[in-house]
Copies of this chain bind each other. A is one copy, B any other.
């Protein structure tokens, strides 16, 4: 707050020019060893810290990555951890902004970071976001952009995401193998790509196995576990009661589990249950819930790596799509054979 020590302070104190101080600090070859020593000693004593703002202004780069995410739930926090780890290693600073699943806040965040605070973006869009002008604006300004997890299809950028369809396939195939016939799905919000892809895998697999999805067995609801609980209660009360439920998040799986227990049904006997994300919690409840691991930490790391690659490879963004394969972890909630 007061006044940071600057290169000028050192220069005046030693009665030399700022240029020389600057060179001395960077260990340039054309500075006398003696001078260097004096500069370094004083800089240590005054606890000099270079002013990154001045540097960034000069070089037109901040070495900062703007990360925009919809929230900080388990999966995204894990991904951010992955991004952070790789970015820090490579000398980047990360600026995380949550949009809180709000389109408006996503725009505000983008705008702020665009004020020359970052030299690139890593974005996962909010579930509310249906218009992508703010994302396109980033690209119009030729600012590097990487999309991850909740990607946007009609934007050309490197994308790192889970193979969500495959996740849906693995979960559904497993349930069918276990002999379940009437498999319901608790899908997420309607316009959410990841949710729809998981459902696509579910539908594909049903079809491939000659099963038909009852329309009443496809429920769109928010990620919230409360909604999942309510939705499951309705499902279980319906005429055509499902004998298995696939939820596209673990939160929802736990909500579903609660409703199932309340109804007095047993897992995996009466009803099979498979969740998504493989959060630590699923193996700690009873019965332990089968879940699709999405390797969030790996996705985070891959995302940061793609970003770094894009920054170094001046040769235009490659727009590759990295697709991580999920893996179903089978537990008690769905294993009846």
* A interface residues (Cβ-Cβ under 8 A, vs B): 1-4, 47, 49-54, 56-57, 60, 62, 71-74, 77, 80-81, 84-85, 88, 93-98, 100, 105, 108, 111-112, 114-117, 119-120, 137, 140-144, 225, 251, 254-255, 257-258, 261, 280-281, 284-286
Contact = CB atoms under 8 A, between A and B. Distances in A.
Given A53-B62, A57-B57, A143-B1, A112 B84 contact: no
Nearest to A50: B115
Closest 10 CB pairs of A and B: A72-B77, A52-B115, A2-B142, A51-B116, A254-B284, A53-B57, A1-B142, A96-B96, A285-B285, A53-B116
Contact of A114 (B49, B57, B62, B254): B49
24 contacts: A1-B120, A1-B141, A1-B143, A1-B144, A2-B141, A47-B140, A49-B115, A50-B115, A51-B57, A52-B115, A53-B53, A53-B57, A53-B117, A57-B57, A72-B80, A77-B77, A81-B100, A84-B98, A85-B100, A88-B108, A93-B95, A95-B95, A225-B284, A285-B286
Given A115-B49, A115-B52, A142-B1, A281 B261 contact: no
Total identical chains? 2
A94 B97 contact: yes
A221 to B, nearest CB: 16
Contacts of A94: 97
A308 B145 CA distance: 32
A98 B112 contact: no
A159 to B, nearest CB: 19
Nearest to A262: B286
Nearest to A98: B84
Contacts of A225: 280, 284
A142 B1 CA distance: 5
Nearest to A3: B60
Nearest to A113: B93
Given A57-B57, A77-B72, A81-B98, A116 B284 contact: no
B81 A105 contact: no
A133 to B, nearest CB: 11
A100 B88 CA distance: 12
A81 B73 CA distance: 11
B1 A119 contact: yes
Contacts of A141: 1-2, 4, 47
A95 to B, nearest CB: 5
A111 B254 CA distance: 42
A49 B140 CA distance: 13
Contact of A93 (B51, B71, B112): B112
A116 B255 contact: no
A143 B2 CA distance: 7
Contact of A258 (B88, B115, B284): B284
Contacts of A85: 100
Contacts of A100: 81, 84-85
Nearest to A116: B51
